Amino acid sequence: MGAGHPECPGRLDAINDQLLATGLDIALTFRDAPEATIEQIERAHTAHYVTEIKDLLEQVRDGGVTKALDPDTVACPATLSAALHAAGAAVAATDDVIAGRALNAFCAVRPPGHHATRDEAMGFCFFNNVAIAARHALDVHGLERVAIIDFDVHHGNGTEDIIAGDDRVLMCSFFQHPLYPYSGAVPKGTNMVNVPVPPYTRGAAVREMIETMWMPALHRFAPQMVFISAGFDAHREDDLGQMGLVEADYEWITQRLVDVARRHSHGRIVSCLEGGYALSALARSVAAHVRVLADVH
């Protein structure tokens, strides 16, 4: 998105370097992402929006210059390809996990997706990767109940906009409030467990909220698959928020979600990268998350 923008290629480089440095890469199977199809994207976004944003991104690609959609969200010539592959990664991971080719998957993708609403790009996001994947599981594979867990420091307003009122989906999230996008304090639907937390909240308080608010709802819902919007910008080193989580907290959260998936979902989890902009903290936190998913001790 341009020099100095927090949503930078260095994010994925830092993650890959950490996986190599810790030896985690040996325990993982890496797969390249295909592009999502228009049909797949339109399960979460309106046809008008998909046509409009695709046309705009094609113009940016062909023109060879960047274009700001809003003060935060900038399209460059490679954005269309990147966004299609990010959504495609989530769909392909869903196919692999449901088919049993993988127990779970982590999609190390850019751009992120959870701020993209049914008909608007915002907050670094163009297509809502997790919502597209969840709808794919429901509409193509015939699952009846899926959960979306969002632990980014920012509220996943786009995901909420897309799945509000869809009783096949339970969305559980925590997020700093008030903070961009200044939403979520009042849920849009009854299929949400929103946990707004004040700045400077640390891991112990977040863990207690998860145990008392997320877990009972998840066990009642008994999802057949778990999707994660995995943002790591609630880390205490990340300047885009003011929360106080550390790697051990992300490890604990992931383990609790793995426990839910093992109990109700045959272990099936697809996790997609969202935020996380302090590169060292992001890399360490992703490694902790992936270590639990891969059951590497």
Active site residues: 115
Pair type for strands 192-197 and 104-107: unpaired
Distance, CA of 154 to CA of 114 (rounded, Å)? 9
Residue reference for tokens 């850019």: 110
DSSP string, 3-34: TT-SS-THHHHHHHHHHHHHTGGGG----PPP
